[in-house]
Structure 1
Amino acid sequence: MFVRRIAVVGTGYVGLTTGACLASLGHRVVCADVDAAKVARLREAQVDILEPDLAELVAEGLAAGRLEFVVGAGNAVADAEVVFLCLPTPMGAGGAADLTAVRSVAEEVRAVLPPGCVVVCKSTVPVGTSVAVAELLDRADVAVVSNPEFLREGSAVRDLLRPDRIVVGSDDPAAAERVAALFAKLGAPTVLMDAASAELVKYAANCFLAMKLSYVNAMAELCELLGADVTAVCEGMGYDRRIGQSFLSPGPGWGGSCLPKDTHALLQIAQAAGLEFDLLGATIEANSRQQHRVVAKVREAVGGSLAGARIGLLGLAFKAGTNDLRDSPALAVAKLLAAEGAELTGYDPEIAGQLPGLRLVDDAYQAAKGAAAVVLLTEWPLFRMLDWPLIAELMDGDTVLDTRNHLDPDALRRAGLRHRGIGRRP
């Protein structure tokens, strides 16, 4: 494998993981960020992101001299053969992706890009972004390629180094092959396509997963109405290879840094193209309904009114294995509970500091103390190992709403508590 000189602009989840993993594959990588303090920490191998194996890869890359961190995109691209843009594309007006950061960096680097280099859009961007970036660069000697990421928080390193597939899209086939060659050592299936198709792949995949989750949450509600058990139903579905076991777990709604913004962005893209994507719109609406359903269950558990009710929340991150609070369904539920007057005490093993509308405490037992009900919102493994008889003594009420179907119902019943799941038989 040829060793390439690579620049990665942006050191968030995608950028830092991409840079560290490419360095581990033997390439020479320079990562850039606008945050000087963050760059200083990364130079000392201090990684703020909770992501298994990432800190170790950063430390190894620094020690081997294959990984470097600098302030400013212009300082990273001077001799790069390939430049990855790993920049935030948050939800903007009307749900469309905000490409401000992408445009800004393209303008910053266009005069200093080496002749013949390839610029890679790694961020999730709307169809046509590769063309727009090429127009902004205004460099006939620089090709622009789309290489969407498929990284899950909590398993990003594994997903990059053992990917299901690698998607590379460009209207310049030679440039696409140069980018694909960077990952040749991984031996993963590689799909080469045009830029527009590659840009759409990530949206298509994420929105399909969101629809699957909304479907399962609706099925859980139907199970409650019919006296069925959603865990049994999903197990029976999951053995069908056309469906699979993944994303078949009901919960308090889906969230995180990708699914909410990507569903809204694709809906806006479809509408702009003249397509009424009703199925996707219903997926988003169903997710909001699920959060309100959780609140209704808590309200019922405390006697019909949340005003002044003390509620303990277990888990605040959008999923276990991460400290990411972006669009966390746990926080969405907490906001709805607080709006009805509930007094919230919350605990998450990876969240510290202050959050609006609730009091953070140091352990699950403090969260449960004096609570009329306890609500599990994030599926941290440690919650299964709690001393539930002690929690029963600490609580004023006796209901635990397990929105992830994560706990052992029998263990809670033996402790004298009422376990209420999502789509589970009482």
Structure 2
Amino acid sequence: MTDRARSWAGALSIYKIRTAPRFLCQAKAIVCCLCLFFYLAVPYIVRAADNSGFYYPAEWETQSSLWIGFRTVKEGRNYEPVLQRMLAALAGHVHLNLLIESTHDLMPSLKYFAGVGLGSTDFTMVETGFPYFWLRDTGPIFVKNREGKIKVLGVPFTRYRDIDNPQGRLAAVRHQKYIKKISQSLGIGIIPADIVLEGGTFDVNGAGVVLLSSILRDRNLHWPQKVLERKILRALGQRKAIWLRQGVAEDPYGFSKIVNQYWGRGTGGHLDQFVRFANENTVLLAWVSEQENQNSDIAKINFQRMRENYTILKNTTDLNGQKLTIIKVPFPTMITYAYTINEESAPLYQQRGVNLNAGDEIEVVAAASYLNFIITNGLILLPAYEGATESNGTSGKDGEMLRIMEKLFPRHKIVQINPLRLNWQGGGMHCIVQQQPVSFP
């Protein structure tokens, strides 16, 4: 205790001895009221002017560009079949900002872009110097106001709660520089935010309601949930939050065991794997039928989790007091591959805290989802799995999902793309893009 603190403590103890008990009770009541006031009010007061009037638009609103994680030293080339189909489908619909770690050794030729239908004015290469590929979570989160001005949320990135090590801390510092670099290149401001807010953890309906993943609490352990919720609502310019429970089993935290012999790689429960708004009042929810519940232990987990999320959605309303329309969509048929841990890889897993030994046989599960789709100007890129490279969309679960989306988005062109190469790494097409809304001068 400092000398100043001791003097205050002494003064207070003397004051207590010489003061009537009734006055002490009144003083305690005043202190309690002040504490309660600051607990409830400070989240509204701090930086209240920073993002006043700015909000995160729904993805079906008009976009000026789409930012895409394109190539890094370690990632990007592995996903070329998916990326090329995405670029070819997006050509002519929206300007593309392609993030590349280095233009020196990763830059494709103009012939590459011409081959996917992109002219020289259809895209911009953005060199980051940093290995950012999964742009939904690492990229800029754009917000706008009613006058059409846009800004970027300056949220920190903690590598999915993996920051308590030198590599993680370095990534966090790089992320702040990278966001600053992008905002400066666009000539727009940054709104400071002291919450971790990965892009895959929320979804908005364009009318003041936001769906939130329960893992946001794990990413922001230093904030009580009520305070965290108010901070998220303020950052995104929303008025009502709907907290959902656990995500799909195929999206575990890191590379970890799901159940029995099944292992997977993921973020721990991102929303864009199992629930999405389709309009202001309609929600798409991944669903396991009674019959599918018997297919595997993975299906049983999803069966229970999605019913819990359904109950939450069923018992909530939009800002007008209207019940949400919930459309149940299928899970893709589970996709796995068998893998035997070898002598070389076993120590690497163990260094990361993964309990696998040489000779162990596991089944790795892909984070496949129909809800990890992309919406942009007049176009939807929809996951499909039932063909060798792309589904024809006429039968099975691919066809069922296609018909649901055609009914909901009759004016959009829908292109089905197999994102399996991304799914093996715990993400999908939606995970590598971030939309930039239209702005006005």
Same fold (TM over 0.5): no
When normalised by structure 1's length, the TM-score is 0.29
Q: Whose strand proportion is higher, 1 or 2?
A: 2
When normalised by structure 2's length, the TM-score is 0.29
Q: Whose helix proportion is higher, 1 or 2?
A: 1
